[in-house]
Structure 1
C-alpha cells in the first residue's frame, strides 16, 4: 500500500480538512482545521482542492518516510524547514512544494513561531470520510485514522502512488500569516448577561492565552467579566469563535472542536475572517478584541476570500533546493558524472 509512514509522530498530529459543520444539529462537533487559510494554501501548492485533508501539526512536527514511488508535499504555516534525513543534512524551505521519492524521510522540528501548521500531500489520503469529512475528532474517535492522533508506526494510505515531475511552486506572499490588530467580535447572543462596565473592559484590555488551550478552545487571562444575570442559561447552539464565560468570569474562545451546545452565556463571537488567526496563537501570546457589526463582518470575510485568491494567484516558481543524497546516488560514481 502506498503511503506515508509515521516514524516519529511528534506532538499528536491529526488529519484535518474543513470539518463537518453541516451536522452540528446531530450533536457532532465540527472539528476541522484550526487555520483553514494555511490549509488552503498548502493544498494549492500541491494541486489539491482547497478542502482536502492535510496533517495538522502543533508544537512539534513528525518524522515521516515516503512509502510510495514519489510524493509531493508542502509545509505551510511555519518558517521551520523540512529536513530531508539522509547521510547529509538537507533542508528544504517551507511554503513550497517538494517532490520526494520512495524511502526518503522528512523531519519537521519545533513549531516555535506558530500555534499550527499543515503538511499537505498531493492527491490526499485514501481514507473513508465520516459525514463527508476526514477531520479527526478524537473525543468521539471519528475521522482521520481510526479517529485518533497519529502515532509512531502508522501508515497513512495515499491516493496517488507516484506524483509526477513538474516545476515546484512557492508561496511568495506570506503577509496573511502576519496579520495583527484586534480580533473582531460581534456581540451576542447573551451580551445582556454581563455588566456594561465589564463589556467595556473586555474591549479595552489586553488578554493572554493561558496554557489551558487546545483544539476545543482557549481560556484567556485578563480581567474577569461580571455576570449581571447569573452564569447559567438554557443550553443553546455554539459557533466556532464563540466567547463563552463560565461562573469564574474568565472568557473561553471556542475553536474547531467546540461542543455543539453550551449552558454558559456567550458575550460574542469572533468573526469568521479572524478565526484562522486564533489558531496560530500560542500560550502566552497577547490578544485584544474590537467590536464590529454584521456588515463589517461580512465585508471582512469577502476581503479574506479575495486575499487568499490573490496569494494563490501569485505563486512563483520555487527556487531549487539541493538534495545532495539523490544527486550523489543518481549522477556520480567515484566523483565522476555518469555519461548520458
Structure 2
C-alpha cells in the first residue's frame, strides 16, 4: 500500500475507463492520456489498463509501505524520491519507507504514476476510474486526501527486474506548447456557415479557466452557425468539439457527459487527445482538418509504439540477473542460551 501524506492539487485513481455504460448515462472517465498510462504500466509489468494515479500540476507526497517499481509518465511534475530528483518515463525502485514527492510542473500539466501491481481499489462498473461528478470509483469516489491509504495489487513475479528501464524518447508523448490538433469533420459540420468553418480552422484559441476533465472551453473568435445551435441530443465521443449558441467551442474529454444537444463541428483524432491533457488556462491551440486514413494511421502507430515498449521492457527484464533485496539494513532479535540479543545488519 501507499500512504498519502500530502495529496497535491488534484490526484485521482484512473485506469482505461468505464466502457460499456454510456447507454445508462455513466461517463467513461479514465486517464486523460491513455497512451502515457499504458506506457507506464508496460514498464512496471502491469496489464495495459491497470489503475494508476493521475496528478495535475502539483503531485502528491506519498510513502511506500513495501518495495515497488514505479514509473512516472506524461508531463514533468519534478518527481523526487527521498528528496533526490528522478527521471520520468523510467522504471524506478522504491523501498519500504521511501517517500515520493512532486515539486510542481516543469513541463506540461498532468502526469501518471504507475506502480507495480497497480492501484487495487474496489472496481465500480468494471473500472477503478474516479468519476468526480458522479462520486464513484477510485478511492471513495473522490480526489485523494492526506491520510488516505491506497491499496496495491500483487505485482508480476519479475516486476523488480524492470528497474532502470527507460522508455526511448521516440516512444514518449511530447508536451507541445501550442499544439495544432488534428480533427475529422464532425457529424453536424453542415450546421455551420462556410465562414464559420473557415474561422474554426483558421483561428487560434485559448484555453479558458472554465476547463476540467469533463471538457475544455475555448476562448477566441466565435464560430458562426448557419442557423440554430440546437440539435436532438446524440452521443458525444471523446474529443468532440461542440459549439453552443455563443460560438465558442467546447472540447469534450474524459469525464464528458454521454449525450449533448449542441452541434459538433469536429472530433479530435484519438492519437491527439493526449495533447489536451497538458494544457492549462491561457495556453493556445489550433485545429487542422484531416481524414480517417490519417487518423487510423496515427492510431496504428501508437499501438505499435506501445507494443514495442512492452517488447523492450520484457527483453530488459530477461537480461537482469539480480534478485530483489527488500532492505539495505535492519535489526533482529535473537535468543541464545536463554539470553536475548539485538543484532544489526546491512547489505553491501
Q: Deviations over 1:230-253 (max 9, x none)?
A: 111111110000001111110010
Q: Deviations over 1:156-177 (max 9, x none)?
A: 0112389864351111225642
Partner residue in 1 for 2:254:
256
Report the Cα offset of residue 312 of structure 1. Answer: 4.4
CA contact (8 A) 1:190 1:265 kept: yes
- Aligned with residue 173 of structure 1, among 158, 165, 169: 169
Report the aligned-residue RMSD.
2.4
- Give the Cα–Cα distance (whole angstroms) in 1 for the partners of residues 78 and 156 of structure 2: 23
Partner residue in 2 for 1:115:
109
Partner residue in 2 for 1:275:
273
CA contact (8 A) 1:221 1:250 kept: yes
Partner residue in 2 for 1:8:
6
Partner residue in 2 for 1:186:
184
TM-score (norm 2): 0.85
| 151-160 or 97-106, which deviates more | 97-106
- Give the Cα–Cα distance (whole angstroms) in 1 for the partners of residues 306 and 347 of structure 2: 46
- Give the Cα–Cα distance (whole angstroms) in 1 for the partners of residues 22 and 280 of structure 2: 27
Report the Cα offset of residue 204 of structure 1. Answer: 1.2
Partner residue in 2 for 1:77:
74
User: Structure 1 regions of 5+ residues with no counterpart?
Assistant: 319-325, 331-336
User: Structure 2 regions of 5+ residues with no counterpart?
Assistant: 318-326, 331-344
When residues 206 and 159 of structure 1 are mapped into structure 2, their CA distance, relative to the original with a 3 A threshold, is: same
- Give the Cα–Cα distance (whole angstroms) in 2 for the partners of residues 188 and 166 of structure 1: 46
- Give the Cα–Cα distance (whole angstroms) in 1 for the partners of residues 152 and 244 of structure 2: 43
- 1:179-258 mapped onto 2 (5 Å cutoff): 182-258=180-256
| 116-125 or 179-188, which deviates more | 179-188
Report the Cα offset of residue 178 of structure 1. Answer: 2.1
| 294-303 or 266-275, which deviates more | 294-303
Partner residue in 1 for 2:342:
none
For the pair shown, which has the larger CA radius of gyration, 1 or 2?
A: 2
Partner residue in 1 for 2:61:
63
- 1:43-62 mapped onto 2 (5 Å cutoff): 43-62=41-60
CA contact (8 A) 2:180 2:286 kept: yes
- Give the Cα–Cα distance (whole angstroms) in 2 for the partners of residues 339 and 51 of structure 1: 36
- 1:125-140 mapped onto 2 (5 Å cutoff): 125-140=119-134
Paired residues in the alignment total: 320
When residues 179 and 66 of structure 1 are mapped into structure 2, their CA distance, relative to the original with a 3 A threshold, is: closer
When residues 137 and 183 of structure 1 are mapped into structure 2, their CA distance, relative to the original with a 3 A threshold, is: same
- Aligned with residue 39 of structure 1, among 37, 40, 44: 37
- Give the Cα–Cα distance (whole angstroms) in 2 for the partners of residues 212 and 154 of structure 1: 28
Partner residue in 1 for 2:341:
none
